Amino acid sequence: MIFPWDVRRKSCPHCQSEAHVIPVLYGSLSRRAEKEVKAGKVHYGGSVVSLDRDQWYCTLHHQAFGGVSEALDEQVAAANAD
Ligand SMILES: [Zn+2]
């Protein structure tokens, strides 16, 4: 079974590239996580953790994407492909 939150790094819907894509963190951050946010290695999505939160963020287009619902859609589509 594949869980939607296991979906790996994805391409930005705008640039179709993973080159500028970083993970999104939510909730309260550890010190280490704070450092990574400041270093631009991860994007801070806010303190509210919702179920359909986006998992990825394109630093070029400043857009988060790859929410759970989107991932679920893809899993369903893949499961129905053959
Ligand atoms: Zn992009």
Question: Separation of 82 CA from ligand 1 center, angstroms?
Answer: 31
Q: Which helix (H) or strand (E) holds 36?
A: helix 31-38
Cα 40 to averaged position of ligand 1 atoms, centre (Å)? 15
For 22-48, write each residue's pLDDT tens digit. Answer: 999 999 999 999 999 999 999 999 998
Residue 37 covered by a domain: yes
pLDDT band at 19 (very low <50, low <70, confident <90, very high): very high
Q: Please tell me the predicted confidence (pLDDT) of residue 4.
A: 52
- Identify whether 9 is part of a domain: no
State the distance from the centre of ligand 1 to the C-alpha of 50, rounded, in angstroms.
23
What average pLDDT does the segment 50-67 reach?
A: 90
Domain that holds residue 71: 19-79
> How many angstroms does the Cα of residue 76 sit away from the middle of ligand 1?
25
**Cβ–Cβ contacts within 10 Å for residue 1, how many?**
4
HSE-CB for 21 with a 13 A CA cutoff: 18
Average pLDDT of the residues in 10-21 = 91
Indicate whether 55 belongs to any domain. Answer: yes
Domain count, the chain: 1
Among the residue ranges 2-6, 28-32, 52-56, 66-70, the one predicted with the least confidence is: 2-6
Q: Find the 7 Cα to ligand 1 centroid distance in Å.
A: 18
Does the pTM surpass 0.85? The reply is: no
